[in-house]
Structures are given as structure tokens and as C-alpha cells.
Structure 1
């Protein structure tokens, strides 16, 4: 699987996948074709900013923080239709999201597993049941300040974020094995 690298640079997590995880998965599931081995396809990070109904600048501040975390400019998500009970008008900014692929995706997953998740307060492991039935995994982080890119003292507000890891696995068991071999800390 050749992908464009920056001057021969390969992310640490990608090397780990190629050298360690892939052979383990082939041994575990008995794949005949190397293209059958599941891999991470993309990572989508979503930050909902519900308080932006009162102050529309909060979505752009959240987008700035998400850009620091992801290393890529996010898209500001807007309301599709007006909902009067929530004081939401059509086109109002409600949050931001970013889709990571290839090198940035592996860098983010590496930072998520090795730095951010161990910094979460009262962390007891990821829920092994948060798969969607097609091999995709979703997790929520309550505080975005667990990432080292965010300066705790300068953070105006603490937002939660959703991280969706889309894999090429056909079943949840294959995806669970892939993420476990990539050192995701699942609960027992």
C-alpha cells in the first residue's frame, strides 16, 4: 500500500501496522489475499458546540482548537433547519468537524492512543461494544484539553469531541482485533 510520504517519512503507527499488526491479523483470521487485511480508512473528529446559539464566535474558537489537534483545517457545521425550542436558526454555526486520512490519520491515532487517552481523568479503558456492526468504532472524549497541542491555561472553554474510526474491516470482530493490535486500551 504505497501512499504519498513527506520525504520518505512514514508515521510510527503506520510502521507498526505494516510490520506487526498485519502479520498478526493474517495469522489470526487466515487471510489469503493481503488486500483482505483490515486497515484504518479514515478518522472523523466532530466537535459539537451547543453554546454557539448564544455566541456564534464559539464555533470558530472550537474550530481553531480542532485545527491544532488534527493538524488540518476543520469545516464549521451549520444548522440545516430552524428549531425554535433550542433557539437555533437555519445556517447557524453549531460545531466543526474534520476528516483525516493517510499520514495525518496515523499521526492522530498514535497521539490519541499514546498521549491523550492516558491523560483522561478516571480512565478505565474504551468500551469494546462501541462498534456499529460494519467495523467502524466511535468514542467520545469529554475534554479536548487532554491533547498536548491545547494549552490548558489559554483554553477559553472545554469542549467534548467525538472520534469515529472507519476501518475496512467487514465485521466488528475483525475491527476489534485490528484496534487491539494497534494498542487501543479496551476494557476487559
Structure 2
């Protein structure tokens, strides 16, 4: 994917966006995968399954996210673990992006493409996945519970149009209107 970006996408995107300097061309910066584990407030063991799943998916050990504030309605105290996240950069990021496009997204049930409106205004794209089973690395017999996750693709693009153009060049499956 990295060589594909350098050889195929870079020059075409520079021409399409009308940029003079090749360093101005948007590129992938990082991929952040976040998995909220709300049931960890009552059951401390619930976090172990999420950590195992995210380790297999991301290829590195995830960081445990803790609550910043206490919320009595959710029976949540400050510094209780509420989720896990992994940040992928460099070669792992490109490898994950390739797996996402080639195997994971096509395995989603009733998949018709991702919404083109999920950009954040700064060229970054976020979407949610309802189950971790779309990744081929996850063994169906080994999981304890079906969990969803949020995936954010952070780019160096400054606008949504630049980010959309970059992801389209990579072959990102956006839904047609």
C-alpha cells in the first residue's frame, strides 16, 4: 500500500488538487481503532476479551482508556477502565488499511459502501463496525462476546474534499448517493 501510494497516488493526487509541492499532497497519518467496553464497570474480566481481540486485529498491545469523570447514572467512577484503543502508524498502518479494504469491509453483512458524510471537517474519516468478526484473524470459536469498534483514519489533508480524494484513490468503498 505504501509503494502504491508513492508510485500511483502521489502524482495523480498532486495534479488533481493542483498542488505545486509534493509534500503538500495528503497522506495517511495514522489509524486509530477504539473499542468501548461499557460492561467493564461491573465485570473486570470483560476487558480481557476486548484486549485480546484488539491485539489480534491491530498487531500490537492496546492501551486501556479510563474514565475522566465519575457518572453516578452509569455506576462509573473516575479512573475506571471503560475501553481500549490502538494507534497504528507506519507499515502497520498501511498493512491494516490494506486488510480493511481487501478482506474486512467486504465481509460486513449487507455492505453497500461507507457513508461519504463521515468526515470531521479536517480530512479525517471515522466509521463504526458492529462486530469484530469481519476481520479474518478473529476466530469465531475464541471470542466471548461480539463487540463493535470505531475506526478513525487520520490524514494530513486540510479539508474533507482532499481527504475524500485521497481515500477514493486508495479504492475506499464510498456509498453512492
Equivalent position of 1:69 in the other structure? 57
- TM-score normalised over the length of structure 2: 0.96
4+ aligned runs moved over 6 Å, structure 1: none
Equivalent position of 2:45 in the other structure? 57
Equivalent position of 1:136 in the other structure? 124
Aligned partner (choices 104, 116, 122) of residue 104 of structure 2: 116
- TM-score normalised over the length of structure 1: 0.91
Give 3-state SS (helix, strand or coil) of 2:162's partner. Answer: helix
Please give the alpha-carbon distance, in whole angstroms, between the structure 1 residues aligned to 2:19 and 2:78: 49
Contact 1:56 1:92 in 2 (8 A): no
Equivalent position of 2:84 in the other structure? 96
Give 3-state SS (helix, strand or coil) of 2:171's partner. Answer: coil
Verify: 1:37 aligned to 2:25, yes or no: yes
Q: What's the Cα RMSD here?
A: 0.9
Equivalent position of 1:5 in the other structure? none
Give 3-state SS (helix, strand or coil) of 1:16's partner. Answer: helix
Q: 96-105 vs 18-27, which deviates more?
A: 18-27
Q: 58-67 vs 108-117, which deviates more?
A: 58-67
Equivalent position of 1:8 in the other structure? none
Please give the alpha-carbon distance, in whole angstroms, between the structure 1 residues aligned to 2:80 and 2:93: 29
Please give the alpha-carbon distance, in whole angstroms, between the structure 1 residues aligned to 2:140 and 2:45: 20
Structure 1 unaligned residues grouped into runs of 5+: 1-12
Please give the alpha-carbon distance, in whole angstroms, between the structure 2 residues aligned to 1:75 and 1:61: 14
Please give the alpha-carbon distance, in whole angstroms, between the structure 2 residues aligned to 1:119 and 1:94: 28
Give 3-state SS (helix, strand or coil) of 2:2's partner. Answer: helix
Please give the alpha-carbon distance, in whole angstroms, between the structure 2 residues aligned to 1:183 and 1:147: 18
Q: Deviations over 1:73-120 (max 9, x none)?
A: 100111122211111122211110011100000000110111100000
Contact 1:43 1:165 in 2 (8 A): yes
Equivalent position of 1:164 in the other structure? 152
